[in-house]
């Protein structure tokens, strides 16, 4: 076995090889692998939903555009920050409200 792999306990689950740091119990290793597999499954389910033909046809892409002068004025007023939490990072769903 390669020297780098000696730091890990190796697990084969659903034909995928996982490595967990040594020191975890078998139960803890199993839970970590199940969590990883589930997050991968969830990711692909979201992608499938996002790009499914049925969903794409149902989406209404028409919405009222906010005039550019209004967008600029709000951006200046709020100094490029969220008016709710003050963050300059990517906006979260709670920060987008329907007019």
On whether residue 42 sits in a domain, the answer given is yes
On whether residue 98 sits in a domain, the answer given is no
Residue environment code for 46-75, b if the CB has 16+ CB neighbours within 10 A, otherwise e: eeeeeeeeeeeeeeeeeeeeeeeeeeeeee
| Number of structural domains found in the chain | 1
Please report the pLDDT score of residue 54 as a whole number: 60
On whether residue 99 sits in a domain, the answer given is no
Residues paired with 21 in a beta bridge: 8
On whether residue 72 sits in a domain, the answer given is yes
On whether residue 21 sits in a domain, the answer given is yes
Q: What is the pLDDT of residues 21-70, one digit of tens each?
A: 888 888 888 888 888 888 888 888 888 888 876 655 666 667 788 888 88
On whether residue 26 sits in a domain, the answer given is yes
């Amino acid at each position: 076995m390669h020297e780098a792999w000696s730091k890990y306990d190796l697990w084969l689950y659903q034909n995928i090889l996982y490595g967990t740091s040594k020191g975890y119990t078998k139960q803890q290793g199993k839970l970590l692998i199940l969590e990883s597999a589930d997050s991968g499954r969830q990711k692909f389910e979201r992608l499938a939903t996002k790009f499914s033909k049925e969903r794409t046809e149902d989406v209404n892409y028409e919405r009222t555009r906010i005039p550019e002068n209004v967008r600029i004025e709000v951006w200046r007023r709020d100094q490029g920050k969220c008016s709710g939490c003050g963050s300059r990072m990517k906006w979260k769903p709670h920060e987008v409200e329907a007019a």
